[in-house]
Amino acid sequence: MGRLDGKVAVITGGASGIGEGTVERFVAEGARVVVADMQRDAGEAVVAPHGDAAAFHETNVTVEADVAGAVDLAVERFGQLDIMFNNAGIVGAVGSVAEITEEAWDLTVGILLKGVFFGVKHAARVMIPGGGGAILSTASTAGVLGGLGPHLYTASKHGVVGLTKSVANELGEHGIRVNAVAPGNTATAMTAAIHGGDPSDLTAVTDHISSRNLLGITGVPADIADAAVFLASDESRYITGHCLVVDAGHTSSGVGANRFNQGPLGMYREAGQVDR
């Protein structure tokens, strides 16, 4: 039997990167999944191989009605909602704190924190009368330590961890577990663009990642998806209000803090939602 047999999930940012990897793992473990993402073509391509086990909902996580619609689609199509994985994200504003604009603040925090709040809110709306569930959100090692990401990314990810712990206190009595997963550097299009300038060249980032953790290996989306499966499944029935760090010991060793705030990262100043 699959570890998620009979469960229904919504995964934001499910069209690429960690989100796409988690869609694959959830379906393989028996779940039915709504892929909520701005990238329609990519999202429909992720859904297509899974037939009736998956559906796509075009979703901008900064728009509450879009997030509510993804949750409603899960209930309408599959009859329930058991798992909400708030994963959509971007790097967002980069550069000196003295130079960051209000517009960049609004975009970055809107996607990375407000979007998570909307997911938590609308999952709770369905899960409370439904008798329980699991809410997961993607934090980051930048949400655990300073110096591992741009200022607003770091602030937002700390906010995700704080929101997770706070909401877990409210929703526990309803049988709803609320947890976060904090990936370290993971070989995705986003990290490839940061370290090599080409989001399609994952080889450019693998050596960088493996040289900055205790195990000397490169994390891939499947590593984060495995953690998400655990936190979404009944195997973690005694865990809530927790942030699970998945980084091969990077934050334990203090090796090679990434100076995201230095260098030409103008590509991430553009509006839009670039998934992990």
* Tens-place pLDDT, residues 80-96: 999 999 999 999 999 99
| Separation of alpha carbons 51 and 27, rounded Å | 11
Is the confidence at residue 265, as pLDDT, over 50?
A: no
Note if 153 is an active site residue.
Answer: yes
pLDDT in tens, 144-188: 999 889 999 999 999 999 999 999 999 999 999 999 999 987 766
Nearest residue to 221 (alpha-carbon basis) of 26, 50, 82, 81: 26
Quick one: pLDDT at residue 217?
81
Residue 141, both tokens:
């090692």
| Separation of alpha carbons 13 and 224, rounded Å | 14
C-alpha pair distances (Å), 5 with each of 20, 30, 62, 67, 139: 19, 4, 31, 24, 26
Q: State the catalytic residue, choosing from 56, 118, 153, 268.
A: 153
Is the confidence at residue 1, as pLDDT, over 90?
A: no
| Domains, the chain, with CATH or none | 8-186+217-269 (3.40.50.720)
